[in-house]
Chains A and B, each alone.
Chain A
Amino acid sequence: MTGAPTAYEPVIGLEIHVQLSTRTKMFCGCELSFGDPPNIHTCPVCLGLPGALPRLNQRAVHFGLMIGLALESEISDRSLFHRKNYFYPDLPKGYQISQYDVPLCRGGRLGDVRIHRVHLEEDAAKLIHVGESGRIHGSDRSIVDFNRSGTPLVEIVTEPDVRSPEHAREWLTLLRATLRRLGVSDVNMAEGSLRCDANVSVRPAGATALGTKTELKNMNSFSYLERGVRTEIERQISLVEAGEEIVQETLHFDPAAGRLTPLRSKEAAHDYRYFPEPDLVPLLATGEMLAAASGELPELPTARAARFEQDLGLPRDRARELAFRGELGDYFERALAAAASPRGPDGAQSLANRVEHDGPAGHGRAAAVETANWIPLLVERIGSDHDPAQSNVPPESFAALVAMVRNNEISRDVARDVLTQLVQAGGDPREIVEREGLGALNSSDDGELIVIVERAIAADADAAEKVRAGNLKAIGPIVGYVMRETRGRADGGEVTRLIRDRIGQTPGQPGA
């Protein structure tokens, strides 16, 4: 936006619905399911039959409390359920049981975004529109699957602290990692167990008043969220610049077209007529319940990232990259444990000892940084949606490979190739290196590398002369020759140093 007459600041708040992975539904004993034949997990309660009454799932409350504590919220010792009234075929009672003015949790914070509230509610059933489009318009008929009806949900509402589409995506990633770490949800956006709406407005940079906001729905992936929010920010800025009003409305993100279309105003303009649910008693969060919830809190991603950064010396971004994707963090720590374990049965313990023993600049920290640096390379090879623990590369092999690099037993280029092989077919990295003769060539070995270096200098006398004259760039072809000859087994840095030594050029002393 540099050069524009006015700079705009987006103000974004997120509303996240999380399906809890309890065994049974929010207000009845039916099992939760995904992908089962329709309407087999139903009962009078979740079908909204006459006379049925809800009863609160205590496990869902427990999960709600864990989430509240993890988000540093203030827990209400007495919260209320309300009825949110509207008619729709996926809502069997004609109202949703939700929390309204006295939610389970208020306030809180996750990373750099403040939490407004966290509350419990129930999910609606699933509507399936039969017809070519799969959407309601143009469908032949709609059928309802009540398996989902009454699934426990936690709704998390943030304060409008999100400042960009990238920020939204990054923060949602952190939230997902946190929820996954808590073990309270599958947090799968494609399956709808994690759903995110965004409230978006723009204002001139530095202004304090908020602009008119719109609500974006149906962004069921991280990239849709980012794209949807970006599209909306651009649309709002162009409206403002054209002197037009922004209409407060609900917009539906169409990922295929990358467009936002307004929902019919009828659908958006509900009077939900909230009133306290008379079929449920107030929810009392006792000291015992809070103690049970806090007792089950694991180390959360933010704390883990801080630990990776401070105790293991990882750069901040790398620490977050691993900690915010829990499975990467887990894999990383298992690899570190494996690397440290040969001398002790308890790998994690010995790693910790080693880090402490080595001190801030010790080898433990260097090993950790090296191991961490290799994880993105593994992820790149297995695909970013996959858990490396489920790949062909167990953390032990991965650790062995990294150790070989650290010990200069193989070059980085070779290590990359071996990693590719491991991902494709598995195996023991040390065996692969031995079988294929990929061990590093060092000057200290049997002189083979030095022979090749001398041959390379002789083969390109022109280049050697330029290097000797101080043109360092000319060294490239000579290095290339060596790397070809050694099939990458030599270390590039060492090869460069050897060539300079032989030619008589030393770094930092041009023209010596």
Chain B
Amino acid sequence: MLELTGAQAAARVRARELDPRELFDAYRDRAAADELNAFTWVADGPPELAPDAQAPLAGVPVAVKDLFCTEGVPSQAGSRILEGYRPPYTATVVAKLLEAGAPLLAKTNQDEFAMGSSTENSAFGPVLNPWDRARVPGGSSGGSAAAVAAGLAPWAIGTDTGGSIRQPAALCGIVGLKPTYGACSRYGMIAFASSLDQAGPLTRDVTDAALLLRHMVGHDRHDSTSVRFPGPIELPSAEDLRGVRLGVPEELIGGGQDGAGIEPGVRANFEATLRLAEALGASVELCRLPHAPHALSAYYLIAPAEASANLARFDGVRYGLRVDGSRDLESMYMATRSAGFGTEVKRRIMLGTYALSSGYYDAYYGTAQKVRTKIADDFRAVFEQFDFVVTPTSPWTAFELGAKTDDPLAMYLNDFCTVPMPLAGIPAISIPSGLSAGLPVGFQLAGPAFSETRLLDAAYALERTIGFDGSAARR
């Protein structure tokens, strides 16, 4: 049962070969016995509504990143400041999945407010990588990635701001998709950086990603930035990549000059994957994204700036943690936020506050927005000649716990190849492309806005040829 993908399990349920209650219980037992610290909450009984075998997702349960508000269920965004917080409403994408017949299995651990690339920034402790428990699962959706990789959940959703779905998917050997900005409603997602945050699936294979995404997208009147997705999300079926033009951006993977310092094993795997793509009929050529090397700098101004405002509401007045100050209102704010936020969150609030300050706004935030526009223009130009841009998802495989916690800049470089896409608002998928020294490597494909169906098709064709075996992580 646990070897089934989400789509396969749903098919079995529909064929009455599998009882969705048994499926739920089996996963609940596994999740409850989790040793990876992947979850912050696991359902303590069967779902309130009996699983509907005829619903599109046929009762196959889903794990949801902690920062999605789920009514009555702890939704803490990995932060002490929201410890025990149970919201009175449910995020739109979660509600849509529930409606499509996927009951809530668990909430997954994450970097605090999605700020991090290793899930070591969670107030509830780090998540362990099922491939090697001495290593991180990536982040910030590390709990979702580890849970799916380890077979503790059939599938999961997370959020991606600068790589928070794709990078942990890569490090855990699963599929992660960041949709086009606006494809999925952000309503009920505890915000990190509003202009970048996007919900997406983390799944065992590309078909599952397509199936979950199909039930996540759509305009939501509660989110003005959400849009009606043009056309349905089709399940992938491509058998080859004939006529598909892949662009390899020099600036991101460039020989010797790349800022990310791609590991030799990762580079070798990337090159090998490109050869497989060519064998499937794709053309592979270098392309130019001249402003992409500045993406990380722009990202680390824009995201913290938005975060500094988004996190202002955690003030101890209405919900979550309150630490009474010694004297007045201001001291209560100080005491609450000092105790409630972790180091990385504080660092980014300070960065963002500074970037928006009077006298610095133009130099920092203003310039970053201009760079962002340039990056989007770069992608537009590339997509006139290429169908997809491809890169390694992460420059490295999973690193050891604690290896980069003292060096924020080294940690930020994890996102070197994943940050340009959210800045441009375009979709990107990471699929497992093999192992390097026993650890998974991710291959990233990015396409123009709303090209998800094509993107999934290409990823599917590659996936079949790669034949990645993730069973070692599901022990």
0/1 string, B172-192, CB within 8 A of A gives 1: 000000000000001111110
B87 touches A279 (CB 8 A): no
Give residues of chain B (74-101) contacting chain A, Cβ–Cβ below 8 Å: 75, 77, 82, 85, 87-89, 91
A53 touches B319 (CB 8 A): no
Q: Does B225 contact A (CB under 8 A)?
A: yes
CA distance A273 to B190 in the complex (A): 22
Chain A's closest residue to B358 (CB) is: A271
B356 touches A48 (CB 8 A): no
Give residues of chain B (186-200) contacting chain A, Cβ–Cβ below 8 Å: 186-191, 193-195
CA distance A51 to B195 in the complex (A): 14
0/1 string, B208-244, CB within 8 A of A gives 1: 0000000000000111110000000000000000000
Which of A84-92, A179-187, A332-340 is found at the contact surface with chain B? A84-92
Give residues of chain A (53-88) contacting chain B, Cβ–Cβ below 8 Å: 53-56, 83, 85, 87
Given contacts A51-B189, A56-B224, contact A93 B82 (CB under 8 A): no
Chain A's closest residue to B193 (CB) is: A278
CA distance A47 to B69 in the complex (A): 15
B225 touches A55 (CB 8 A): no
The residue that B222 contacts in the complex, of A47, A53, A278, with Cβ under 8 A, is A53
CA distance A251 to B225 in the complex (A): 40
A52 touches B187 (CB 8 A): yes
Give the chain A neighbours of B189 by CB distance below 8 A. Answer: 51
A51 touches B309 (CB 8 A): no
Give the chain B neighbours of A95 by CB distance below 8 A. Answer: 309, 312
B223 touches A50 (CB 8 A): no
CA distance A270 to B294 in the complex (A): 32
Chain A's closest residue to B91 (CB) is: A51
Give the chain A neighbours of B195 by CB distance below 8 A. Answer: 278
Chain B's closest residue to A273 (CB) is: B356
Give the chain B neighbours of A44 by CB distance below 8 A. Answer: 87-89
A273 touches B317 (CB 8 A): no
Given contacts A271-B357, A275-B356, contact A89 B191 (CB under 8 A): no
Q: Does B114 contact A (CB under 8 A)?
A: no
What count of chain B residues pass the 8 Å CB interface test?
Answer: 45
0/1 string, A215-246, CB within 8 A of B gives 1: 00000000000000000000000000000000
Give the chain A neighbours of B333 by CB distance below 8 A. Answer: 87
**A interface, size bucket:** 20 to 34
Give the chain A neighbours of B67 by CB distance below 8 A. Answer: 51
B315 touches A50 (CB 8 A): no
B69 touches A92 (CB 8 A): no
The residue that A278 contacts in the complex, of B75, B89, B306, B314, with Cβ under 8 A, is B306
CA distance A279 to B187 in the complex (A): 10
A278 touches B312 (CB 8 A): no
B91 touches A279 (CB 8 A): no
Given contacts A49-B88, A275-B356, contact A85 B309 (CB under 8 A): yes
Q: Does B305 contact A (CB under 8 A)?
A: yes
Give the chain B neighbours of A56 by CB distance below 8 A. Answer: 224
Chain A's closest residue to B79 (CB) is: A50
Q: Does A285 contact B (CB under 8 A)?
A: no
Give residues of chain B (336-382) contacting chain A, Cβ–Cβ below 8 Å: 353, 356-358, 361, 365
Q: Which residues of chain B have a CB within 8 Å of any CB of chain A? A: 67-69, 75, 77, 82, 85, 87-89, 91, 186-191, 193-195, 221-225, 305-306, 308-309, 311-315, 317-319, 329, 333, 353, 356-358, 361, 365
A-B contact pairs, 13 of them (CB 8 A): A44-B89, A50-B314, A51-B91, A51-B188, A85-B308, A87-B315, A89-B329, A92-B318, A144-B317, A273-B308, A273-B356, A278-B193, A279-B194
Beyond contacts A94-B311, A144-B317: 9 other A-B pairs, Cβ-Cβ < 8 A, are: A47-B318, A50-B191, A56-B224, A85-B312, A93-B313, A273-B356, A273-B361, A274-B356, A275-B356
